[in-house]
Structure 1
Amino acid sequence: MFVRIVKMSFHEEKIPDFLENFESVKDKIRNAEGNRFLELYQDKNDKCIFFTYSYWETEEDLENYRQSELFNTVWNFTKKLFNAKPEAWSVDKLVSLK
Structure 2
Amino acid sequence: MLIRIVKMGFYKQNIESFLSNFNESKQQIRNFEGCQLLELYRDKNDPTVFFTYSHWDNEEHLELYRKSKLFYNVWSKTKPLFSKPAKAWSVERLEKLE
Structure 1 unmatched runs, 5+: none
Question: Pairwise mapping of residues 23-34 of structure 1 onto structure 2 (< 5 A)?
Answer: 23-34=23-34
For the residues of structure 2 that align with 1:96 and 1:63, how far apart are their CA atoms?
25
Residue identity matched to 1:5? I
Cα shift readout 1:46-73 (whole Å, capped 9, x = no counterpart): 0000000000001000000000000000
Aligned length: 98
Structure 2 unmatched runs, 5+: none
RMSD between aligned residues:
0.5
Structure 1 residue 83 and structure 2 residue 89: aligned?
no
TM-score w.r.t. structure 2 length? Answer: 0.98
Secondary structure of the corresponding residue to residue 83 of structure 1: strand
Residue equivalent to 1:38: 38
Cα shift readout 1:16-50 (whole Å, capped 9, x = no counterpart): 00001100100000000100000000000100000
Which is strand-richer, 1 or 2? Answer: 2
* Runs of 4+ that moved beyond 3 A: none
Cα shift readout 1:56-94 (whole Å, capped 9, x = no counterpart): 001000000000000000000000000001000000011
Residue identity matched to 1:55? H
